[in-house]
Chains A and B, each alone.
Chain A
Amino acid sequence: MTDNPVKDFATDWDHSDSQWVADPYPIWEDLRERCPVAHTERYGGGWFPATHAGVSKIAKDTDNFTSRTVVIGNGRPTELDLPAPIGLAPPITSDPPFHAIARRLILPAFAPGPINALEPMIRELCIKLLDGLDGQDVVNAGSSYARYIPPSVIRGMLGFPEEDIEQFLEFVHIILEGIDHPVEERLEEFAPVEAYFTKQIEEHMDNPRDDLTSYLLNAELDGQNLALEHVFGTMVLILVAGIDTTWSAIGSSIWHLANNPADLARLVNEPELMPVAVEEFLRFYAPVTMARLVKEDMEYLGCPMKQDDWILLGFPAANRDPDVFADADRFIIDRAENRHVAFGLGIHRCAGSNLARLELRIAIEEFIKRFPTFELADAESVTWAPGQIRGPRNLPIRILS
């Protein structure tokens, strides 16, 4: 969080400003009307398109914008930080043409077939977590429920031993905390993680089975198996992209239901609404904002963009644009037409979207089955994660039945 509060988001936006973190939606609405592309000198200069049209144009324009880094910081990565043309974490940080190769590699593992097969495992996991909360008047739906689901699912997909779950969660924590640290620090912090992952990878080389680790070990690039670093790097990417994103989506959905008893009652009584409701949760509380860098000086969307200026690519803001969504600022649990862009647009469309949807649906289904009525226990104490992934972290829920 910055100690230099923003006075005008149109000329000085900052996505870590406390006002933006607490409630960004009125800010975006104002910018949509006034700008619609906001500017800032912070972080070395950047732009924020507040409309669906602006977000969509830039997301699809890989000629003028690069994904070299997708998380805004004060510096810009140097060549040393980035193995060209692959980028740090393929495919999310790769540009065409290499992007397609890296993406093709992982897509089959996240296609609906293999993902839908995980449903029983995810359901069992949610039920177990809820069993652990039984008998409490107030449960923390963020830190005791939502937070555990994505890493536990990925642990299962990777085929790492179930009894290692605590250690695995600790490693996930190290990765999520350390991913933005300078290279030397990161290498040091990741050493124990890499050692554990390498051990698991080697174990899979000796005993291949039907899981994501064996899938990656069998995958081929130019007729050759992936280097071990590439296998490890892909696992790190999946952990970084798949955990606090999904945790945030589950948490925001439960937060919404705690605040809106009529929606909660409808979902409890009409479970067949779930698939449509999930899309509205994703539209209304889209957790993920990405970034791009401007490739060269240019006039774009009427703005004088400079090389290496940031673009804050607000998929959540696009989802509230009244030009695309009727009653954009209303949550409509059975909204039939919903072209939301929570998973991005264009070539970087979230590779894990089938998994994310499945986790979100089952997590809510099981939560409301166990607790058909609940409310926020202490609205003031709910905290929202700052930065580019938005979701409630502390989420005390009072169980009413």
Chain B
Amino acid sequence: MKVRIDPDICQGQGRCFSIAPGLFGFDELGNGVVIGDGTLQADTLALAQLAQANCPEHAIFIEE
């Protein structure tokens, strides 16, 4: 499983990188970015899902 942020939808609400700072960071404008290639392990999957469930813009996608 992989997590990604759609940069066209993200508006920098800032929820993902405060909930899961190991998975998400931010660029110089404060928009969310995925750290590394976004591959999720069993333990990080739940965190990624929590971040997804808190994104007001629905910009986070978790895919095979």
A residues engaging B (CB < 8 A)?
A: 104, 107-108, 110-113, 275, 279, 336-341, 343, 345-347, 349, 353-354, 357
Contact = CB atoms under 8 A, between A and B. Distances in A.
Which of B12, B27, B50 has the most C-beta atoms of chain A within 10 angstroms of its own C-beta?
B12
A339 B30 contact: no
A353 B14 contact: yes
A275 B18 contact: yes
B56 A107 contact: no
Contacts of B29: 104, 107-108, 111
B50 A336 contact: yes
Interface in B1-57: 11-15, 17-18, 26-30, 50, 53-57
Contacts of A349: 11-13, 57
Nearest to B53: A337
A339 B56 contact: yes
Contacts of B30: 107-108, 110-112, 354
A340 B28 CA distance: 24
A359 B18 CA distance: 15
27 contacts: A107-B12, A107-B29, A108-B29, A111-B27, A111-B28, A112-B26, A112-B30, A113-B26, A279-B15, A279-B54, A336-B50, A336-B53, A338-B54, A339-B53, A339-B56, A341-B56, A343-B13, A345-B11, A345-B56, A345-B57, A346-B57, A347-B11, A349-B12, A349-B57, A353-B13, A353-B14, A354-B30
Q: B-side binding surface: helix, strand, loop or mixed?
A: loop
A337 B18 contact: no
Interface of B: 11-15, 17-18, 26-30, 50, 53-57
Which of B26, B27, B55, B56 has the most C-beta atoms of chain A within 10 angstroms of its own C-beta?
B56
A129 to B, nearest CB: 26
Contacts of A345: 11, 56-57
B54 A337 contact: yes
A354 B14 contact: yes
Contacts of A341: 56
Contact of B11 (A111, A279, A340, A346): A346
Contacts of A336: 50, 53
Contacts of B15: 279
Contacts of A107: 12, 29-30
Contacts of B11: 345-347, 349
Contacts of A343: 13, 56
A370 B38 CA distance: 42
Given A111-B27, A112-B14, A343-B13, 15 more contacts: A104-B29, A108-B28, A108-B29, A111-B26, A113-B26, A279-B15, A336-B50, A336-B53, A339-B54, A339-B55, A345-B11, A347-B11, A349-B57, A353-B13, A357-B14
Contacts of B14: 112, 353-354, 357
B45 to A, nearest CB: 16
B42 to A, nearest CB: 19
A339 B55 CA distance: 6
